[in-house]
Structure formats: C-alpha cells, structure tokens
Amino acid sequence: MSVSSGGSSGDGPKKARIEIIPLIDVIFFLLATFVLFTLSLNKSNGLAGVQIPKVENSIPRDPTNTVTISIPNGEGVGWEKDLLSLGDFVNRLQEYKTSVGPDNARILINGDVDANYGSARYIFDQLKRAGIQKIMIETRVTPDNEKLVK
C-alpha cells in the first residue's frame, strides 16, 4: 500500500511549473500602460532643450502642415530639428513659402524662456516680409499652484 506525502510521487519529486498565463497578462498590462502614456505626450518638432514659456490658459494647436521654428537661448534658429544660421533660415523660409504658398504656410514658433528678444524680433520680421499670416506661438499650460515667474 503506497501513501503519498504530497511532495513526491512514486515516479520521483514533482517538478516546479511556471504558469505562463498570468505572465502574459502582466506583459499586456505593461504594454497597454506604455501605449496610453506615449499617446498622452505632447510632441514638439522644435529643437531639444528649448524651455517653452508657461501660461495660465491656452488653446490646443493643430500641428498638421506646420513648420516649427525654434528660438533657442543662444545663437541660431531652429527649423524643425535643424539648427540654422540666420542667413540659412531666410533661405529655408523662402523655399518653404514657394513650395506651399503664403496662404497655406503655417508657422509654429517654439521659443525658449530666456531667448534673445532680438532673435525673436528678427524671426517675426522675416515672417512678415515673406507674407506668412498663420503664425502660432507654443506655450505650456501651468498648474494652478505653479507660479508663472521663475
């Protein structure tokens, strides 16, 4: 008469078994969380490292068919992800205007909080000379308890 003690059987000790179904559930949960978090990010096509000014309220923007011009804290101007000199910026602006036309041109200005006012004035002046009318300025909405001033 054989008696089983639960830890072993007549064939030898029981082997440990990894349940794969709960592991798959955890992987799918992490994947879904990552996808939702990624979709909630606001993507900017400007230069990296530009500290955008904060405001108390703002209107959401539509980034389709928009060129992002960045005004960094320092020299040059950003065109999408490229850092250009002021002369190259004028040439690129003229190429953009002729390719889409002044009526379809949309510019999003992404300026650093500490950007040089002269650079911003120069960019606005060049946009006005090019006849581009659809100009937006990118800002970040602040939480109610955060101050606007540094």
Terminal Cα distance for the chain, rounded: 84
* pLDDT at residue 26 in the model: 92
Q: What is the SS3 assignment for 109?
A: strand
Per-range mean pLDDT, top range of 18-27, 34-43, 135-144:
18-27
Do residues 49 and 72 make contact, with C-beta atoms less than 8 angstroms apart? Answer: yes
CATH of 54-141, one of 1.10.10.60, 3.40.30.10, 3.50.50.60, 3.30.420.270: 3.30.420.270
Query: What's the CA gap between 98 and 46, in Å, rounded?
Result: 22
Q: Which residues contact 100 (CB under 8 A, 6 or more apart)?
A: 65
* pLDDT at residue 45 in the model: 61
Taking the model in full, what pTM does it have? Answer: 0.56
